[in-house]
Amino acid sequence: MSENVRLTREKEIAVVTIDNPPVNALGPGIPEAIQAAIESAAADADVRAIVVMGAGRTFIAGADIREFGKIVRGEKPGRTLLPFLAAIEACAKPVVMAIHGQAFGGGLETAMAGHYRVIAAGAQVGQPEVKLGIIPGASGTQRLPRLAGFAKAVEMCAFGEPIGAGEALAAGIVDRIVEGDLLAGAIAFAREIAGKEAPRTSRRESKLRDHDPAIFAAARAQAQKTKRGQAAPLAAIEAVENATRLSFEEGCAREAQLFRECLYSTQCKALIHAFFAERAVSKIPGIAADTPVREIRRAAVIGAGTMGGGTTLNYANAGIPVIVKETSQEALDRGLAIIRKNYAGSVKKGRLAQAAMDERMARITPQLSYAGFEDADIIAEAVFEGMALKKQVFAEIDAIAKPTCILASNTSYLDIDEIASATGRPEMVLGNHFFSPANVMRLLEIVRGKATSAEAIATCMALARKLKKVGVLAGNCRGFIGNRMLGPYLREAQFLVEEGASVAAVNQALYDFGMAMGPLAMSDLAGLDVGWRIRKEFRHLERPGVRQPLVADLLCEMGRFGQKTGRGWSQYDENRASSPDPETEALIEKTARAAGIERRDIDAAEIVDRCVLALINEGAKLLDEGIALRASDIDVVYLNGYAFPAWRGGPMFHADTLGLDRVLARLAEFEQRHGAEFWSPAPLLKRLAEGGKTFSSFDQEAAAAAGG
Ligand code: 3H9
């Protein structure tokens, strides 16, 4: 048949097996080969029904995403899957799709073109295209409402979350769940239906009758809220809604049009970049894919504060027994109460079963001593951010931990090598920097010290996956990748208010850019005392005569730590709703005038450029210094740790979108107006811009040089 599609026989049932690793994507030639196999089986007089399934880990993960960029760049012609799907549906013999792993995107569209679907108990189906900035482009928005009704179809196409086998059965998307051997179950099912008239999804009408307009209005409202700034979810809703008034063929034609509009958008390019960036992070030059990885069976966490508690939750959620240690019973009780409250909240919202909460709580051992630490495979330190304390803790755990135990610090700024110097095993010491709230944010920065072993890094990368995080390797410097870049970003936000922008205007401009919240709102949420403590730690490094933000320290001295004290950059009511704080605004103005800072009107475009270009310029310096391995790693950090808008692809991809020559020109303007100290362009950025290159081309060249 074809290298990637096999046709075999189980007596009167033909079996078509798609074998296109890693995920059976519908790359070039695959749909054609599937169609040829089905047609050949149909032409065989001895065949009564046909089963289609995937080899390996999944059914079909969708269209081949790598092809989209080539189509948009004009390197390949665009193609439609509609004739392929129509041919499956038109098959004279019943076609049973047997789903395991995932039937996603074009995979689910293929499954729905079959006459029946059976599914393995643990499998998922979904139309995740919106996560890539597109919509289902091969009849998904028309077939899904016909099988599952409008409410389910809108939910799946506009928000992209997959559903499990049970939900798919209840919705009418699949016909049977197979427990045990899927192929055997699919063949048994095929024997049952052989000879019966095969239902065609495109001709089903019953579920189309119930089209309450409220479904679409509610979905649009939800998309404006949870997918703010994104075009694809709204296009997906429109495409599904078309099925209320257009024929199947007309609906598909309009869907194809909307699909194309999305495909050629910058948002799609950015989201596809984000997809591959997330998968590139684990490829680390110099660390072979087969580097031995230690299994983390037991963990211990030191500190039950915000980060320690979140880290403890991460381990317990991943099924890893975890000890959490504090220095006083009161702190321990407080930490445990927050953990319990967190789980109870999930139970109340129906996201977690009570039994699962009990199981997770049972994995957590709270205590005041180091008892049991000798059995831990990883010890995660999450004590206050101070070098002296960290070194003391590391010396203590070094004395107790087994030789193979990884010693991880959750420090967000401090020198990993200096921390490691307190131990006799610097090769086992690294940073595991979670982002607050640690049980929610997906980012885990894995910070490599100069002695950290490949094995410790590989183990933490694997651990990140187990904890359902994205692990990104960072070099050792003050703030690593994320927080080092955050420094200039927050600095500019503060300079802008000193120069005359209001706190609300700065927050609003960045919110409108797509950030989950503005920079000063974020500082208020994190707690202004956190930065205050860090500034004190590093005060000796401040250079005399260099401009420093003036107001944050004053707010802290007044006990205004942000949301937790009700006042900070803004003021907060008991429901944490913010409003401008006239006293803070007056303090900013008075302080700025006293320092001789000229006050002026500043528009939103300048606010965004000052903050975002500061971020980008620092990112370029990190790349040049080798702190970040790839520009795309920086994007992954900002998308998963700082809620940078995914549809902009991350700060470095955004810079490429703006054009590095334009970025460079704007940096030069700022340099002239605000001085070279903060605005001299990173040498790498300058080199790339002057060479007509991009951060993406920099990554590609680096990968090629590393042989990847
Ligand atoms: C679509 O279908 C549009 C349609 O409407 C039709 C339009 C005409 N293509 O994630 P993993 C690669 S749009 C190409 O690490 P996991 C991935 O890059 C598509 N490559 O594994 C990685 O490569 P590498 C809609 C793909 O087990 C390797 O496979 N579908 C594709 O954690 C393993 O991936 C989606 O959006 C693809 N479609 O998760 C599904 N998918 O090893 C996207 C994966 O070189 N995929 N790769 O780094 C996923 O959600 C996950 O990959 C999946 C497996 C759950 C399938």
Instruction: Output the CA–CA distances (angstroms, integers) from residue 63 to 7, 231, 391, 671, in the order listed.
Output: 21, 20, 51, 46
Count of helix runs (H) and strand runs (E) in the chain: 31, 19
Q: Which of 199, 194, 192, 183 is nearest to 49 (CA)?
A: 194
HEC string for 550-610:
CHHHHHHHCCCCEHHHCECCEEECCCCCEEECHHHHHHHHHHHHHCCCCCCCCCHHHHHHH
The ranges of the chain with pLDDT < 70 are 1, 708
- Tell me which of 109, 241, 255, 385 is the catalytic residue: 109
C-beta neighbour count of 424 within 10 angstroms? 11
109 in catalytic set: yes
Measured CA to CA, the distance from residue 497 to residue 503 in angstroms comes to: 6
β-strand 49-54 against 102-104: which pairing, if any?
Answer: unpaired
61 Cβ inside 6 Å of ligand 1: yes
Query: Separation of 62 CA from ligand 1 center, angstroms?
Result: 7
Cβ-based burial of 273 (10 A; exposed 0-12, middle 13-18, buried ≥19): buried
pLDDT tens, position by position, 333-388: 999 999 999 999 999 999 999 999 999 999 999 999 999 999 999 999 999 888 99
129 Cβ inside 6 Å of ligand 1: yes
Half-sphere exposure at residue 114, Cβ-oriented, CA atoms within 13 angstroms: 29
pTM above 0.75? yes
Measuring from atom 43 of ligand 1, which residue has the nearest CA?
A: 61
Measuring from atom 48 of ligand 1, which residue has the nearest CA?
A: 279
Measured CA to CA, the distance from residue 255 to residue 205 in angstroms comes to: 18
Q: Counting atoms of ligand 1 from 1, which one is nearest the CA of 282?
A: 48
Cβ-based burial of 341 (10 A; exposed 0-12, middle 13-18, buried ≥19): exposed
523 Cβ inside 6 Å of ligand 1: no
Measured CA to CA, the distance from residue 411 to residue 252 in angstroms comes to: 53
128 Cβ inside 6 Å of ligand 1: yes
Cβ-based burial of 162 (10 A; exposed 0-12, middle 13-18, buried ≥19): middle
Return the SS3 of 474: strand
β-strand 163-164 against 124-126: which pairing, if any?
Answer: antiparallel
Query: Separation of 23 CA from ligand 1 center, angstroms?
Result: 7
- Tell me which of 3, 10, 32, 129 is the catalytic residue: 129
DSSP 396-431: HHHHHS-TT-EEEE--SSS-HHHHHTTSS-GGGEEE
Query: Separation of 65 CA from ligand 1 center, angstroms?
Result: 7
412 Cβ inside 6 Å of ligand 1: no
Could you tell me the two tokens for 638?
């900002």
Query: Separation of 170 CA from ligand 1 center, angstroms?
Result: 26
104 Cβ inside 6 Å of ligand 1: yes
Could you tell me the two tokens for 338?
């927050």
pLDDT tens, position by position, 634-657: 999 999 999 999 999 999 999 999
Mutate which of 65, 99, 260 for ligand 1? The one with the most ligand atoms within 8 Å of its CB, which is 65
Instruction: Report how far Cα 216 is from the mean position of its chain's Cα atoms.
Output: 27
Q: Determine the residue type at 367.
A: Q
**675 conformational bin, left if phi > 0, alpha if psi -120 to 50, beta if neither:** left
Instruction: Report phi then psi at 167, rounded to 5.
Output: -70, -35
Lookup result for tokens 């009990």: 358
Measuring from atom 33 of ligand 1, which residue has the nearest CA?
A: 22
Q: Counting atoms of ligand 1 from 1, which one is nearest the CA of 22?
A: 29
Q: Counting atoms of ligand 1 from 1, which one is nearest the CA of 63?
A: 2
For the sheet with 102-104, list strands across it: 102-104, 124-126, 163-164
Q: Counting atoms of ligand 1 from 1, which one is nearest the CA of 140?
A: 5
279 Cβ inside 6 Å of ligand 1: yes
User: Residue 545: its pLDDT value, please?
Assistant: 82
User: Residue 577: its pLDDT value, please?
Assistant: 94
Measured CA to CA, the distance from residue 166 to residue 469 in angstroms comes to: 26
